[in-house]
Structure 1
Amino acid sequence: MSNREISLSVASPACEATPRIRPPMTGETATELAVVFKALADPVRLRLLSAIAARADGEACVCDLSTGIDVSQPTISHHLKVLREAGLLTSERRASWVYYRVVPQVLTRLADALAAEAGTAVNA
């Protein structure tokens, strides 16, 4: 028997698609979430978000945020701007200080999206 005959006589397994249990993420949703994940993909920004969330009412004055983070005030302001533009923070000026607040709904949306991809539910 030739090599050609052998390869033709061996049955190759067919690719069988497994059934979907939910629709995959849309391109629009992936783009929206990527903006938020990109904003979080920096250690300084993660620390700033955590520092704000760790405060009473999830709010902190910008004057309190540089403690323990070894970057300049303009760099902190830049990172806060990125977090604000991604929708993770809101800000409010009070006299000469700016106060930042975490937007919990955005964090919940991220957690829900990751849980859906993992096939688990988030218990709020």
Structure 2
Amino acid sequence: MNTKIEKKAKKECSKTTKFVAFALTGLALGAAAYYLFGTKEGRKTLNKAVDGVNDLSKTLKAQAEEGLQRATKLANKAKEEYHKVINLAEEKGHEAAEKASKYKGEAKKLTKKGLDYAEALAKEAKEKVDKV
């Protein structure tokens, strides 16, 4: 079992480990900063890195602008196609209405012709009945 002394020792060991890790990290960062800022080679390396980041930034900006232009073109094309479809639908709707009106007129004519024929037959049949 863990006694109070063992727990205390583990806690102190953990604190020491954390301190050593922190110190080593600080030492590594300090060495990197000294190399980059304190030596000619480090400054050259730093300048190259900064130039590389600037070039990457310019490239990304150009690609983003190109992508935006493409997206704008696609959006405009989609808008044009939408309007074409709407206009076509309206035209076809008008054509359908005109055809329906035409067929309605033809149906009236045929119905009238059928009624006239039926009346004529009825009249003829009545005359024949009256003769008999």
Provide the TM-score with structure 1 as the length reference. Answer: 0.20
Q: More relative contact order in 1 or in 2 (CA 8 Å, sep 6+)?
A: 1
Structure having the larger proportion of residues in strand = 1
Structure having the larger proportion of residues in helix = 2
Larger radius of gyration: 2
Provide the TM-score with structure 2 as the length reference. Answer: 0.19
